[in-house]
Amino acid sequence: MTAGVGDSLAMDSTQAARPGFRQRYGGTIEYIVIPAGALIGALAMFGVFVALFGKNPLDLYWYMYQGAFGTWFSWQNTLTKAAPLILTALCTALPAQLGMVIIGGEGALLIGALSATSAALLLQSAPPLVVQLAMVLAGVAGGGLWIMLAGGLRHYRGVNETIASLLLVYIALAILNHLVEGVMRDPASLNKPSSREIGAVNMIGSIPGTDVHWGFVFGVIAAIASYVLIYHTVFGFAARVAGGNVRAAKIVGLGVGKLIMITCFLAGGAAGLAGMVEVAAVQGRTNANLAAGYGFTGILVAFLARHNPLAIIPVAILLGGISASGGLLQRRLGLPDASVLVLQGMIFVAVLASDALYGRIGFLKGKS
Amino acid sequence: MADGNIGLWTVPLAVFGGAIRISTPFLFVSLGECITERSGRINLGLEGTLVMGAMSAYGISYLSDSPWLGVLAAGITGALFGALHAGICSLPRVNDIAVGIALMLFGTGLAFYLGKPLIEPTAARLPAIDFGWWSDVPQVRSALRINVLFLIGVVLAPILFWAFKTTRWGLLIRTAGESADAARAMGYSVNIIRLRATMCGGFLAGVGGSFLSLFYPGSWNEGLSSGQGVTAVALVIFARWDPMLCLWASLAFGGAAALGPALQSVGVTSGYHLFNAAPYILTLVIMIITCSPKRTLTGAPAELSITR
């Protein structure tokens, strides 16, 4: 589906004219054009899909734009939805530097939310700022340890980290359900078992002048910090060496186990922070509503951004926009709420299939 | 006894009945994944295939009034998803685990989308054979109402075991899984072998999904599958890629999953959700015990990406 984009750009006649440009920027352009082409291809496929159900695809794109970026209201909605996506995407992108495929961000989010809520409930009489700080620390620690478990199992026991992290999602959900129906249960929550509320004073609120909560700022800071860590520190360099070739990393004396544990802790910590934000800025309590699929969409964001923490920010905004437009699509076009899931699935499939195109499009051929 | 009050015997009986009921989707998905993984590729998307199978089986059974047509439709849908997975994975530099995750999202999304109108209506269900006719205790009777699909699965396991061992196709699949070069040297296309193996795997996973919507729990809704497809993929790993072990492992999983509801029925309600997580914890524990950082798993196909 991306072939059309590639063909129009494959102008080999220009090859002799500007070799320097292509060698310098070809790789970077490739990393932008190919995923963008896959995205457009997936949107086109989705248009055909809804057309089969008798809806006008042009209306679809218009309402998607309106619902995602059309008004200041929808922008705020989009950024709010993007906040947890940035953080859960880091949960997949950071271990990816070490060649690990971690898909358990949803589990780390739930455990982070649980730990943050527990911290708030234990410190009820403390000043709000102390409670909020404790929630951040607890959320990061809870989520971090959860993914560190998957990383440790991988390194020390040889358990496949993809499957282990996915199993941990279901285990995390069971723990959450167990606790909110047991020791943490608010007796007032009858139909939907929930924990006690963390209290309005302890909520982290919105960025002044907007309805976007502080989670978005947390996400942007975490993404920039991850970028600096990976590309501008010795630690990040070591991680990328180990990701490229474990044997080479061991020969030069890198502590691969330590790298894996720290990276997985940071990754899980990011997703745990997403859980903390969902509790402290949106829900105000822990219950099964938190398992809203942010962890799984985060995987898609990470892959679409090719595991680059800076690229994660715009991609998360884009996908946050798609999910923010879901409500409008439902109201105006009568599409089921699952249509956003279908589109996400199509994007994911198209992006992965487009991996085969790297280095094959004449004009874009870079160093990679 | 005849009044149905059998005291604590309720628990083992309910676990037994539950093991047979709950294990069926595990059994079909794991047998299918066994074929796929033996050919050297892992399909993590079977969760999506399972849900798609459940949805299409329910839809076709509702429209045609024939549950068996529904099972067939589920199988065909599954095979198409398998073909999609295999097709994308055969492109160069595409990671089969990531494609699996993508198809998991896509399959569940598509099933929820297309299945929206199916939540209300009631479709024809699959028949069950009453093996408990000799008893007048209701619990015994309900535990021994066994669905035909389960019996088919039980027969399929030894057939697959035999087929892997002795048939030409079995040998080809194993060759593609152990050494793609060897298969190529023999003049076979590894991609085509894997395409067929993944389609077979998808077919069986779809059939496993049809059991969910057409027998137990027996209706279509969005919470139908809670990771059975994923668990079945992990199950294949500790069943050592052996179809017979898949059968025993599925029964063990079914029993573990039935323990929570069984205890709840005699009044033990605490830890209900933790018992629900039993299959996942069991999978993880067994993977921890059986894996080792030093060697690849015994019985693992050498070409499989998760064991390399």
What digits encode the pLDDT tens for the residues A75-133? 999 999 999 999 999 999 999 999 999 999 999 999 999 999 999 999 988 999 999 99
Q: Is the pLDDT of residue B90 over 70?
A: yes
Per DSSP (E only), the strands in chain B are 128-130, 145-147
Closest CA to A165 of A300, A348, A299: A299
Mean pLDDT value across residues B198-226: 91
B216 or A137, greater pLDDT: A137
Provide the number of CB pairs (under 8 Å) joining chain A to chain B: 146
Q: From the CA of B101, how many Å to the nearest CA of chain A?
A: 8
When pLDDT is cut at 50, 70 and 90, the band that residue A10 belongs to is: very low
CA dist., res. A144 & res. B229, Å (int): 27
% of chain A exceeding 70 in pLDDT: 91
Please say if the pLDDT value at position A175 is more than 60. Answer: yes
- Cβ-based neighbours of B80, under 8 Å, separated by 6 or more: B202
Task: Find the length of chain A.
Answer: 368
Q: Does A289 have pLDDT greater than 50?
A: yes
> Which of A170, A341, A355 comes nearest B94 by C-beta?
A355
Band (B4; pLDDT cuts 50, 70, 90): low
Instruction: Quote the tokens at residue A51.
Output: 């057309």
Contact B88 A342 (CB under 8 A): no
**Which whole number is the average pLDDT over B12-35?**
91
- Answer whether residue B86 shows pLDDT above 60: yes
The Cα B223–Cα B71 span in angstroms is: 20
Contacts of A300 in chain B (CB under 8 A): 102, 105
The pLDDT value recorded for residue B214 is 92
- Name the B residues in 98-117 with CB < 8 Å from any A CB: 98-99, 101-103, 105-110, 112-113, 116
What is the percentage of chain A residues whose pLDDT exceeds 90? 62
The complex's ipTM works out to 0.88
Give the residue among B42, B2, B15, B48 at the shortest CA–CA distance from B198.
Answer: B42
Distance CA B204, CA B198 (A): 10
Give pLDDT, residue B294.
Answer: 67
In tens, the pLDDT along B100-120 reads 989 999 999 999 999 999 988
Local confidence band at A21 (pLDDT 50, 70, 90 cut-offs): low
- Cα–Cα distance between A119 and A143 in angstroms, integer? 14
Q: Spell out which residues of chain A touch residue B287, defining contact as CB-CB under 8 Å.
A: 153, 159-160, 163-164
Opening angle at CA B218, ends B214 and B220, nearest 5:
90
Has residue B11 got a pLDDT over 70? Answer: yes
Average pLDDT, chain B: 88
**Cβ–Cβ gap A356/B94 under 8 Å:** yes
Chain B interface mutation, best of A149, A153, A159, A169, highest count of B Cβ atoms under 10 Å: A159
Q: Which residue has the tokens 């923010």?
A: A324
A-chain CB neighbours of B280 within 8 Å are 167, 170-171, 174
Nearest to B193 by CA among B205, B175, B207: B175
Alpha carbon distance B299, B38 (integer Å): 10
CA distance A171 to chain B (A): 6
Per-residue pLDDT tens digits for B170-199: 999 999 999 999 999 999 999 999 999 999
pLDDT at B308 over 60: no
The angle subtended at Cα B236 by Cα B13 and Cα B96, nearest 5°, is 140
Three-state secondary structure of B21-66: HHHHHHHHHHHHHHHHHHCCCCCCCHHHHHHHHHHHHHHHHHHHCC
Instruction: Determine whether A137 is exposed, middle or buried from the number of CB atoms within 10 Å of its CB (0-12, 13-18, 19+).
Output: middle
Please state the rounded mean pLDDT for residues A159-171: 91
B287 touches chain A (CB under 8 A): yes
Chain-chain contact of B230 with A166 (C-beta, under 8 angstroms): yes
Q: Is B290 on the interface with A (CB under 8 A)?
A: no
Q: Is the pLDDT of residue B216 over 70?
A: yes
Q: According to the model, what pLDDT value does residue A23 have? A: 65
Residue B107 CB neighbour total at 10 angstroms? 32
Q: Are strands B145-147 and B128-130 parallel, antiparallel or unpaired?
A: antiparallel
Give yes or no for a contact between B60 and B117, defined as CB atoms under 8 angstroms apart.
no
Work out the burial of residue A70: count CB atoms within 10 Å of its CB; fewer than 13 is exposed, 13-18 middle, 19 or more buried: middle
The residue whose two tokens read 């980290």 is A161
| Residue A135 exposed, middle or buried by CB count within 10 Å (0-12, 13-18, 19+) | buried
Which of A177-181, A340-344, B266-270 bottoms out in mean pLDDT, i.e. has the lowest?
Answer: B266-270
Q: For chain B, how many residues are written?
A: 308
pLDDT of residue B143: 77
pLDDT of A14 reads 46
Name the more confident of A168 and B292: A168
Judge: A356–B284 Cβ closer than 8 Å, yes or no: no
pLDDT recorded at residue B123: 86
CA distance B241 to chain A (A): 16
Would you say residue A7 has pLDDT above 50?
A: no
CA pair distance A354, A346, nearest whole angstrom: 12
Tell me the shortest Cα–Cα distance from A351 to chain B, in angstroms: 9
Is the pLDDT confidence value at A62 over 70?
yes
pLDDT of amino acid B133: 79
Mean pLDDT of the region B70-94? 95
Of residues A73 and B302, more confidence is placed in A73
- Cα A33 from Cα B118, distance rounded (Å): 40
In the three-class reduction of DSSP (H, G, I as helix; E, B as strand; rest coil), residue A57 is classed as: helix
In the DSSP assignment, the letter for residue A1 is -
Look at residue B30 and tell me whether its pLDDT is greater than 50.
Answer: yes
pLDDT at A362: 64
Question: Which of A290-294, B171-175, B223-227 is predicted least confidently?
Answer: B223-227
* Model confidence band, residue A35 (pLDDT cutoffs 50, 70, 90): confident
Between positions 252 and 271 of B, the ones with CB within 8 A of A are: 270-271
Distance CA A326, CA B279 (A): 34
HSE of A80, CA atoms in CB hemisphere, 13 A: 20
Higher pLDDT, A32 or A236: A236
C-alpha to C-alpha distance for B19 and B257, rounded to whole angstroms: 8
pLDDT tens for A199-208 read 889 999 889 9
pLDDT on residue A22: 61
| B284 CB within 8 Å of a chain A CB | yes
Whether residue A352 and residue B95 make contact (CB cut-off 8 A), yes or no, is yes
Cα-to-chain-centroid distance, residue A69:
20
* Of residues B84, B52, B33, B65, the one with CA closest to residue B236: B33
For the segment B205-225, the average pLDDT, to the nearest whole number, is: 90
B145 DSSP β-pair partners: B130
Taking contacts as CB-CB distances below 8 angstroms, the residues of chain A near B238 are: none
